[in-house]
Amino acid sequence: MSTIAHNLQVVTEAINVAAREAQRAPGEVQLLAVSKTFPAQAVLEAVYAGQRAFGENYVQEGVDKIHAVAQARGCTPLEWHFIGPIQSNKTRLIAENFDWVHTIEREKIAQRLSEQRPAGLHPLQVCIQVNTSGEASKSGVPLAEAGALARRVAALPRLALRGLMSIPEPEHDFDKQRAAFRVLRELYDQLRAEGIALDTLSMGMSADMRAAIHEGATIVRVGSAIFGARNTNQG
């Protein structure tokens, strides 16, 4: 068994344990393997171990990897999620190559993705990234503006609004981690109560996914616990 396959088993079991602690079914939480900065071969090792959903932060790197993995793997269906900042000049590449986008924070970006999504592909599955901490340096739409943006995005063709995403400040205390994720979950509950059809909470990474699962995460984004330490000089 490869190291990546072993790590996937460990992470999957940790997700299942956290789900049971939270009195949730393990199948409610999807593992998104964040493969940014790692080569296509690392993705293929994860694919051979049964992983099917992968997250990329850098557009061109992600597109190159999607094509390389497809050539090596053939027709095995994989899900590719874009989880990084979105520049206007990169929306076409994202719209043409990815299945999911987690980081919509502006209507202009959503409109471009909608216009550039090829008609022959299924609608692009999208999440609104919310700045739950209110820090000026953080990405995401302000908490107070998230509902209005969600309604505008939900109305766009070729997009399917699925939910919300956040990246809170790092915390080591479990209760503080939960409190940070609770802000997003409460917004999610509020928008659903207002009639916006959401089913996805993308929150939680290697260091805090247990707390995120306790607060209702449906997708956890895990990279280093699967693939190891990143080359910080890349990207």
Q: Quick one: pLDDT at residue 74?
A: 75
Q: Quick one: pLDDT at residue 234?
A: 38
Instruction: Please report, as a single letter, which amino acid is at residue 131.
Output: N
Whole-model pTM: value is: 0.95
pLDDT band at 75 (very low <50, low <70, confident <90, very high): low
Q: How many Å separate Cα 195 from the centre of its chain?
A: 23
Where residue 67 sits, what CATH number does that domain have? 3.20.20.10
- Give the mean model confidence (pLDDT) for residues 80-97: 97
156 lies in some domain: yes
- Give the mean model confidence (pLDDT) for residues 5-15: 98
Q: Is the pLDDT score of 231 beyond 80?
A: no
220 lies in some domain: yes
Which residue in the block uniquely carries the two structure tokens 């171990």?
49
Q: Is the pLDDT score of 138 beyond 90?
A: no
Q: Is the pLDDT score of 228 beyond 50?
A: yes
CA angle 138, 150, 59 (to 5 degrees): 55
**102-141 b/e (C-beta count within 10 Å ≥ 16 → b):** bbbbeeebbebbbeebeeeeeebbbbbbbbbeeeeebbbb
- Give the mean model confidence (pLDDT) for residues 25-43: 96
Q: How many Cα atoms occupy the beta-carbon half-sphere of 181 within 13 Å?
A: 26
**Domain tally, the chain:** 1
232 lies in some domain: no
pLDDT band at 26 (very low <50, low <70, confident <90, very high): confident
Q: With pLDDT > 70 as the criterion, what percentage of the chain qualifies?
A: 97
25 lies in some domain: yes
| Range(s) of the domain holding residue 22 | 3-227
Strand-pair partners of 55: 34, 81
Q: Say what angle helices 3-21 and 40-48 make with each other, to 10 degrees.
A: 60
144 lies in some domain: yes
Q: Is the pLDDT score of 91 beyond 70?
A: yes
Q: Which of these, 76, 83, 90, lies nearest to 43 by C-alpha position?
A: 76
204 lies in some domain: yes
Q: Is the pLDDT score of 43 beyond 80?
A: yes
Measured distance CA(191)–CA(211) in Å, rounded: 22
233 lies in some domain: no
60 lies in some domain: yes
Measured distance CA(119)–CA(112) in Å, rounded: 14
- And the tokens for 226? 């699967």
pLDDT band at 118 (very low <50, low <70, confident <90, very high): very high
